[in-house]
């Protein structure tokens, strides 16, 4: 049996923002025959995957199944990975960075490039590499998640920022793609899957997945596991055109 470990933030720990919280990504993957383990915690930032994260009470009280908290009340994803038996076909999905991006939102006042440099600091980049290397020690099959663009449909607070968002997410995509090439990993690119102009692709806020797109994500994970290759990006343009895979190509201006 294939064991899937979900690591990171609310892109994967997404029950709270759905109309039907009982059908989050973890549950859907279990229905599809996977041993799905949700070690992700809503609002997690990059360094918290390494050092552990406390669960905010409203999430703990609302999730239909318990968080795997340690004795001190924190969730330690890397420790939990070591507890998965080697007899299983082990896969890890990593979605992290969105909450780090949110932390630096005030720096958007100085433009998209300034903001992107603030997010992708030397410390952030090194921590991301260290995290990947730590996960690969127990889970050699690792899929990196490229986050989706926030909803920009009419009425969204992000609509007027679309030009800046293109700069920011384009740069972050190159960062994720660069890591994928460096470690020979596949990328599940949600920025090329969700249609940011369609409100129904999002949950109860403009920055969380919705019921429809969680199903799409489960489809994508299933597809990737059946076609798993290193250094490949997988996506489904606007959630309607079927799954595509491409060898990762970096921009000529990319700098590791």
Over pLDDT 70: what percentage of the chain? 100
Q: Is the pLDDT of residue 241 over 90?
A: no
Contact yes or no for 202/151 (Cβ under 8 A): yes
Helix (H), strand (E) at residue 244: strand 244-247
- Reported as a single tens digit per residue, the pLDDT across 221-235 is 999 999 999 999 999
Q: Where are the domains of the chain?
A: 2-247
CATH class of the domain defined by 2-247 = alpha beta
CA 29 from centroid of its chain's CA atoms: 15
CA-to-CA separations, 198 to 5, 46, 90, 159, 186, in angstroms, rounded: 29, 28, 34, 12, 26
Average pLDDT over residues 48-77: 97
pLDDT at 72: 97
Q: What is the pLDDT of residue 102?
A: 87
122-136 vs 162-183: helix crossing angle, rounded to 10: 40
Residue 106 has pLDDT above 90, yes or no: no
Q: For residues 194 and 192, what is the distance between their CA atoms, to the nearest angstrom?
A: 6
What is the pLDDT at residue 107?
81
Question: What was the pLDDT predicted at 125?
Answer: 97
pLDDT digit string, tens, across residues 123-159: 999 999 999 999 999 999 999 999 999 999 988 888 8
Determine the average pLDDT of the residues in 60-89. 96
The answer to whether residue 253 scores a pLDDT higher than 80 is no
Tell me: pLDDT of 217 over 90: yes
* pLDDT level of residue 110 (50, 70, 90 thresholds): confident
């Amino acid at each position: 049996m294939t064991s899937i470990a979900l690591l990171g933030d609310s892109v994967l720990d997404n029950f709270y923002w759905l109309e039907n919280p009982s059908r989050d990504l973890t549950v859907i993957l279990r229905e599809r025959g996977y041993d799905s383990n949700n070690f992700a915690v809503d609002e997690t930032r990059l360094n918290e995957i390494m050092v552990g994260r406390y669960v905010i009470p409203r999430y703990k009280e609302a999730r239909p199944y318990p968080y795997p908290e340690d004795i001190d009340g924190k969730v330690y994803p890397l420790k939990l990975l070591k507890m998965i038996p080697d007899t299983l076909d082990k896969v890890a999905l990593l979605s992290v960075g969105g909450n780090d991006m949110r932390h630096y939102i005030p720096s958007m006042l100085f433009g998209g490039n300034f903001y992107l440099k603030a997010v992708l600091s030397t410390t952030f980049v090194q921590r991301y590499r260290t995290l990947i290397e730590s996960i690969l020690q127990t889970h050699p099959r690792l899929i990196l998640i490229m986050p989706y663009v926030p909803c920009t449909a009419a009425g969204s607070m992000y609509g007027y920022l679309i030009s800046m968002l293109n700069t920011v997410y384009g740069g972050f995509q190159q960062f994720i793609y660069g890591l994928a090439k460096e470690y020979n990993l596949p990328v599940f690119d949600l920025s090329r899957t969700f249609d940011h102009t369609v409100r129904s692709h999002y949950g109860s806020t403009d920055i969380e997945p919705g019921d429809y797109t969680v199903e799409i994500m489960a489809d994508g994970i299933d597809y990737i596991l059946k076609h798993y290759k290193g250094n490949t990006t997988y996506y489904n343009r606007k959630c309607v055109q079927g799954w595509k895979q491409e060898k990762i190509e970096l921009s000529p201006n990319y700098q590791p």
